[in-house]
Structure 1
Amino acid sequence: MAELVHPARALWWLFEPVHALTYFSPEGRAAYEAAGLRGYWRGYFAGRSAPLGPVEAAPVIAAFFSFAPAMVERALPDVWQRATPEAALAARVAGATATLERVLVTVKPELVERSVATLERAVDGLDCAGRVLASANAVLPRPEGQLARLWHATTVLREHRGDGHVAALVTEGLTGCEALVVRCALDSRREMLQQYRGWTDQEWDTATERLTARGWLSPDGTITPAGRARHNALEAATDLAAARVWSGFHRDELDQLAADLKPIATACRAELPLLNPVGLPAGD
């Protein structure tokens, strides 16, 4: 019997690729470089944190959660000497729009238009209390153009879910590094996640030891039944925290949104690297 998937998670599977695609696209990187942000991680940290203003590293370490502090500190606040937050915001919209223009060239415009209308209704109904990244993105002016608006709406919604996920991880008593170690025990690879998030071997191994002592992992590094149960609980908490916004929609509206987003998500996911840190399940 197929496992039932929470509607909030099923929708995240569809709108997350639209946002995440720009982290891996040549158009996204070119837009940041044109703004003076040369080097992948300068563009990433500047673009994603720009809604918060010209912040120091500490708030970003807290909000992004799974990045090693030293990695964030290499980028912030130095990036603001290279580009203002306003320039970074303009670059990320330009890069996202150019990426989606290429990737969604065969997708019917009416699917994008209907998706934008429904997703923006969802954004308008969000309660962002306690969700720093979602609230910072939600108050930004909506960009012009359907593709830019599609990207902006999916960005607000994914950061809203992400803020809730961080809260669930904190409630479970997990650190950023420990959360990544658990994920590797479930469905990912250390050589990718450790590199992408900047943790040292010593930090990673220490996190593994702590998780083993707490019963999340077996001595061989595999997830234990207790660890899997705790992970399932935090994922359920993430779904619950993301679900309220969708309760204001009729079932047929959500079914229509899912149908409209499916070809959009499929086109975007086809552009993502097979191994990536986004956390989407394999396949459609």
Structure 2
Amino acid sequence: MWTYVEPVHAVTYFHSRSRAAYEAVGLRGYWRGYFAGRAAPLGPVEAAPVVAAFFTFAPHMVARALPSVWELATPEEALRARLTGAVQALAESTYELPEAHLAEAADLIATAAGAVDAAGRVLGAANAALPPAEYPLARLWQAATTLREHRGDGHVAALVAAGLDPVETLAWRVAVDMPAKNLLGRGFTEAQWHDARGRLVERGWLTADGTPTDRGRAAFQEVEDATDSAAARPWQTLGPAGTDRLRELLEPIARRCRTVIPPDNPIGLPPPTP
């Protein structure tokens, strides 16, 4: 389900409508919009909670944006901008789909998002607590975002439990299946990347030449399994039939959203199935 939900959420990062909406409230520059929009559900926070919650960004990179970004736009303004931009992006991508299709998808995904367990899920809980959106595309995007951040919170917990720090996590992903250029923008230095790869070699996850080992793959699969388990409650609540129906409804929406997401992207979204 992540592969169907993530593209809907991700228009906020990649669509020109979303960038324009952030710029309209004074958030010029990609990273100002990113950090303000994603952190806005938490209120006018300092950098430290966002470093913890976002996990894979270097602290100094977050500190360049927060808290100074709140002098450009309040959290409330950032929230309105991100929803406006996302809805405009979705409207542009899905205008050929019947209104009934979008409304049913919004109702089903909102039911799933309403079942997220908030305990220990900082970003998921903050998004789930936002006032419900009125229009179908707004409900669709907001629910997708709640589910996405809820899953992300669980993934961070699994990474921490596995003893992985942020740059080790990035170095592992690059070693497995992602071009390094996709993740170099997270603010870590080459020395930090080098040291992280060395620690992965020491723990037996990578060979000396940087190739993933069977031990490393098995250990990280445990992280993925724990992430899936922690994200299961919304889908259990929706049930097999409801989940299958939502997947069917999201498929053409996600396919259209993927057209603005680069094939090599930093969120790890795999290429769509032909």
TM-score normalized with structure 2 length: 0.97
Name the structure 1 match of 2:56: 66
Aligned with residue 239 of structure 2, among 227, 250, 256:
250
Name the structure 1 match of 2:214: 225
Name the structure 2 match of 1:113: 103
Quote how far apart the aligned CAs of 1:19 are. 0.3
Aligned with residue 264 of structure 1, among 253, 257, 274:
253
Name the structure 1 match of 2:269: 280
Name the structure 1 match of 2:167: 177
Opposite residue 266 of structure 1, the aligned amino acid is R
Name the structure 1 match of 2:72: 82
Quote how far apart the aligned CAs of 1:22 are. 1.7
Tell me if the contact between 1:111 and 1:261 (Cα under 8 Å) persists in the aligned partners: no
Give distance in 2, aligned partners of 1:130 and 1:29. Answer: 30
Residues 248-257 or 72-81, more deviating: 248-257
Q: Deviations over 1:246-275 (max 9, x none)?
A: 112332221111111111111111220111
Give distance in 1, aligned partners of 2:239 and 2:205. Answer: 39
Give distance in 2, aligned partners of 1:183 and 1:222. Answer: 11
Opposite residue 172 of structure 1, the aligned amino acid is A
Name the structure 2 match of 1:31: 21
Quote how far apart the aligned CAs of 1:149 are. 1.0
Q: How does 1:171-210 map to 2 (within 5 A)?
A: 171-195=161-185, 197-210=186-199
Name the structure 2 match of 1:135: 125
Tell me if the contact between 2:114 and 2:234 (Cα under 8 Å) persists in the aligned partners: no
Tell me if the contact between 1:28 and 1:94 (Cα under 8 Å) persists in the aligned partners: yes
Dislocated runs of 4+, deviation >6 Å: none
Tell me if the contact between 2:9 and 2:141 (Cα under 8 Å) persists in the aligned partners: yes
Q: How does 1:42-57 map to 2 (within 5 A)?
A: 42-57=32-47
Tell me if the contact between 2:110 and 2:143 (Cα under 8 Å) persists in the aligned partners: yes
Give distance in 2, aligned partners of 1:145 and 1:249. Answer: 21
**Count of aligned pairs:** 273
Gapped regions of structure 1 (runs ≥ 5): 1-10
SS of the residue 2:232 aligns to: helix
SS of the residue 1:72 aligns to: helix
Aligned with residue 154 of structure 2, among 118, 141, 164:
164
Gapped regions of structure 2 (runs ≥ 5): none
Give distance in 1, aligned partners of 2:239 and 2:23. Answer: 43
Aligned-residue RMSD, C-alpha: 1.0
Residues 109-118 or 211-220, more deviating: 109-118
SS of the residue 1:67 aligns to: coil
Q: Deviations over 1:71-127 (max 9, x none)?
A: 101111110111100000010011001111111112222221111111111122221
TM-score normalized with structure 1 length: 0.94
Give distance in 2, aligned partners of 1:185 and 1:108. Answer: 43
